Structure 1
Amino acid sequence: MIINIVAGGPETLLPDLNDYAGENVIWVGVDRGVFHLLQRNIKPLIAFGDFDSVTPEELSVIESQVKEMNRFKPEKDETDTELALDWALKQNPKSIQLFGGTGGRLDHLFANVQLLVDPLIKGNFTNIYLIDRHNHLTIKGPGHYTIEKKKAEKYISFVPVTLNITNLTLVGFKFPLTNRHISLGSTLCISNELIDDYGTFSFSEGILIMIRSHD
């Protein structure tokens, strides 16, 4: 099972959501993201939010089409997206894909990236992706990973989340590395590219953000 969460970020940054549909996919709407889904004839199983970003007319449409509404007061400790992600993690999915979580306010963007880091720190290794029209972001802990070359996502960057990344090794990349130590704040691993059909990266300590992008 894959859970797709659509938050209320700028609609212009949403990819074609139909590309992410399938038989074993559950859709979740967050605040204005619910309306984005309904506009694309995708009916979410469940919705979360205070719905302060939709008009009364739009809210009426949402309420008429979504059976399970989880409404919250604007004054709360968690963001609407965090509440939706917490629910999704409890369903034990194969992966979670978050859309509408980039662009607009930078505080929302940084909060959403942190939401991807938090489950890994707590020992939940569910694959969670933050996706928009130009970027595909995920979080990785220590290990050995294989990635495929994709024409649509030419650039691959690795950004440290923790103070140190130990023994980072990149194979099959334009700029390879072998057992390299990377510190928080380093830009060494920005805008790399695969030169082979497949490449690998590995490291023994720390947490990395991996971003696949195109211009």
Structure 2
Amino acid sequence: MKVLIISNGDIKDYNFYKKLIKDADMVICADGGANHAYRMKLKPHLIVGDLDSIKEEVLEFYEKEGVRIEKYPPMKDETDTQLAMLKAIELGAREITFIGVIGERIDHSYANLSLLLYLLKRNIKGKIVNEMNEIYLINKFIEVEGKKGELLSLLPYSKEVNGIYTKGLFYGLSGQSMDLEMPYGISNVFTDNKATIEIEEGLLLVIKPRE
């Protein structure tokens, strides 16, 4: 099951996300993410969180629409996005896409990268998407679709990443390593309509930026 989680971070171009919404089997809003869903005229399957950032009129609207709402106490260890992810897993998600998780709050944005690690360790596909980026985390292999000339950045998420092999990128790698202290994988370039990245050891962020 494919689940789309909408959080309360920056979302500017709502039309950009139409395909992600169409492809999702279930939509879960993390608290104020429901404000975005409301503006998109989207009825989510579930809203979770402490409900401190959802607008009152939005909450009332979705209550009248019969949307399932799970309220948590504000004094909790998990963020609302983490709660939404855990709920998605509980409901059987095998692939989760997060939107609205990158914004001006660097602490939240950085913490949300760890969502991908949580999913990776449980063999659940995960990615973070906004208007400017697609973000993946791998420990073995990934194939990313793109167009010739588009950019793809590879950044270590562990102290070292060893045995990196790529195909379909201008700056090819054939077994090299990358260090967290001095990454060199920024702004590689697609030479084909897809790129493959394989690593032998470590954790690697694969980021497809849009210019």
Q: Normalising by the residue count of structure 2, what TM-score does the alignment of the two structures yield? A: 0.91
Distance 1:82 1:206 in 2: 24
1:82–1:50 distance in 2 versus 1, CA, 3 Å: same
Distance 2:24 2:58 in 1: 28
Q: Which SS does the other structure have where 1:12 is aligned? A: coil
Runs of 5+ consecutive residues of structure 2 not aligned to the other structure: none
Task: Name the amino acid aligned to 1:138.
Answer: Y
Runs of 5+ consecutive residues of structure 1 not aligned to the other structure: none
Contact 2:3–2:25 under 8 Å retained in 1: yes
Q: What percent of counterpart residues are identical?
A: 26
Distance 1:88 1:135 in 2: 23
Q: CA deviation at 1:139?
A: 0.9
Contact 1:3–1:95 under 8 Å retained in 2: yes
Match of 2:84 in 1: 84
Q: How many residues are treated as equivalent by the alignment?
A: 211
| CA-atom RMSD in angstroms | 2.0
Distance 2:131 2:38 in 1: 19
Match of 1:202 in 2: 198
Match of 2:161 in 1: 165
1:146–1:55 distance in 2 versus 1, CA, 3 Å: closer
Q: Which SS does the other structure have where 2:188 is aligned? A: coil
Distance 1:119 1:19 in 2: 22
Q: Which SS does the other structure have where 2:182 is aligned? A: coil
Match of 1:132 in 2: 130
Q: Which SS does the other structure have where 1:48 is aligned? A: strand
CA displacement, residues 16-36 of structure 1 (integer Å, 9 cap, x when unaligned): 232223376211111111121
1:81–1:209 distance in 2 versus 1, CA, 3 Å: same
Distance 1:167 1:155 in 2: 21
Q: CA deviation at 1:10?
A: 2.0
Q: Normalising by the residue count of structure 1, what TM-score does the alignment of the two structures yield? A: 0.90
